[in-house]
Every structure is written in C-alpha cells, then in structure tokens.
Structure 1
C-alpha cells in the first residue's frame, strides 16, 4: 500500500503513531450522527489503529487505511479506507474532521482513492451511506459512485463499476 497524492492532499498509509493527532481531528461528537458511536480517546484510537494496521485475519480481505494530510496546512484532516475482497470489490468510506468540512477535502480524497483502487485491479467500488447524509452522498457522487436502490442496515448502497 502506498501513499496517494492529489492536488491538495497526501493520503498517507495509516500508522499507529497517527492516533493522537487523529483523536483530536475526529473529536467532534457530530461526526457520529449517522454512523453511531462516539469519539475515541487517543488510547482507544491507538488500539484501534493497531488492529487495523495488523490487517484482516481473512487472507481474502485487505484492510487499507490512509490518513488525509492537507499539504497547505501540514495537518491531518481525516481518513479514507477501503476493504478489498473477496474478489475485485472494494467497500470505501471516509471521514473529515469538522473544522475542515465544506472544503472539498473528502471528495478529493475519495476520488483519489477510487482512482488508486482502479489501478489495483478492483472492478467494483461500493459505499453505504445513510439516506439523510447529504454531504456523504455528494462525496460519493464526486467519486463517481451512484445510488443502486439496494439497502443494507438502513443505509443506501452506492457503487461504480470500473470495468
């Protein structure tokens, strides 16, 4: 897994060492309105990141996680992730901290991720989005995904077939 660069962003492979800065980035409880839960403490996020970087216990599934670094501000602003497999399918998600929302960062990061996945022989990219989460729907649209009409756990499935 490599870093991904876009016009303004560097998507850096997740490291356990990112936990402290990311705990602050993701500290707004409003980020959990549609996904549930609550913000992680730095220690809890460190433990979560340790599990993520260790990787999936299923050899047919890859967990790929990046932090989003905004170059002009030299700071982390969120994350993107892809769960790849089994087969040439990736499920993606994203989150950008509240102070950086509304600046196109999530859309740019998601576009960069989808482009990178297309070079990794992924043929279908999917995301599951709460029907009331208009900002995430806009990110999915910007990344080339379209709603499918299929539902999973109260969320609408979006996808793009890349060939």
Structure 2
C-alpha cells in the first residue's frame, strides 16, 4: 500500500516528501501544538531527517507508513499532516493541524478523508489514540466515525471505527 494524493472539498492530501520539511517546520513551530503529545517544535533539519525515515518506511514486511501533508486548495499552503501505520489487521491514524488554521474544520475534514481513503483501500479496523483532555481531537475522531473505547494506552484513550466487526 502506498500513499497517493487525494482531495477533499477544501484540501489536497499530498504524499510526504522530504522537500516539505522547510514549510512544515513553520507549520509545526508553535509550542502549543505539543501540549497533549509532548515534545517540541522540530528544526528543519530534524524534520527533514524524520521525513527521510518516514518515506523509507518501516522495513518490516506487511507494515506500511503512509504520510501526507495537508495543503489548502484555496492558497496551496501547507497547514498540517495526517498519517497512518497500516498492517494487515489495522490502520492506526493521527492528525496534526498548525495552530494558525485551527478552528475552521480542516483537521476534521482531513481525518474524515483519511478514514474514507483507508476504508476504500480495504482497511477494516481503524484506530486512533487521543489524550483524555484533548476535546478537539476527540471531536475530530468522532466525526471521522471512530468511537472511544474503555481502553487506555500510554495515557490516551483508544478510539476505533464503529463499523468494524468486533470479536
């Protein structure tokens, strides 16, 4: 499985390339983005190295790292990213939107687009980890068709797609 471009109403989700590191470092520069996830804003160099690793993939058979940057179709500006780690049995998803563009529904639109894209590719179980205090991310997960479970993993609630067949 490989990440391919797909569009939503207002967004283009573009497969990750190292060349995006400079612009994305600016998008990810606000320390407030790391309130719930920890860490700090990456340098351009660190982000380029991370993107090289992500583009190379995990090197494990049957596992795929799919990463996209989110671009506004209105102005072609990068505004965030979505990602999925896909195995034979599940896809684990995440999303980050730069603070300058938050509050306009872009993260929700991108997450819904990602879940729809993965479902169209045959993913049956889609999961996300959401910090219990991150109400905005919880709302995005719910809008994307994920339901919060009672399971906690590393301090975060596990969300999963409601339509999947449960054992």
Q: Answer yes or no: same fold by TM over 0.5.
A: yes
Name the structure 1 match of 2:20. Answer: 18
What's the TM-score once normalised by structure 2's chain length? 0.95
The within-5 A match list for 1:39-50 is 39-50=41-52
Tell me how many residue pairs correspond in the alignment: 162
Q: Secondary structure of the equivalent of 1:67?
A: strand
2:68 is equivalent to residue 59 of structure 1:
no
* Structure 2: gaps of 5 or more residues: none
**CA distance in 2: counterparts of 1:24 and 1:140, whole angstroms:** 25
2:114 is equivalent to residue 104 of structure 1:
no
**CA distance in 1: counterparts of 2:118 and 2:102, whole angstroms:** 24
Moved over 3 A (4+): none
Name the structure 2 match of 1:73. Answer: 75
2:85 is equivalent to residue 83 of structure 1:
yes
2:149 is equivalent to residue 153 of structure 1:
no
**CA distance in 1: counterparts of 2:164 and 2:82, whole angstroms:** 19
What's the TM-score once normalised by structure 1's chain length? 0.97
**CA distance in 2: counterparts of 1:68 and 1:59, whole angstroms:** 27
Q: Secondary structure of the equivalent of 1:99?
A: helix
* Structure 1: gaps of 5 or more residues: none
Assess if the C-alpha contact under 8 Å between 1:3 and 1:13 holds in 2.
Answer: yes
Shift of 1:162: 4.0
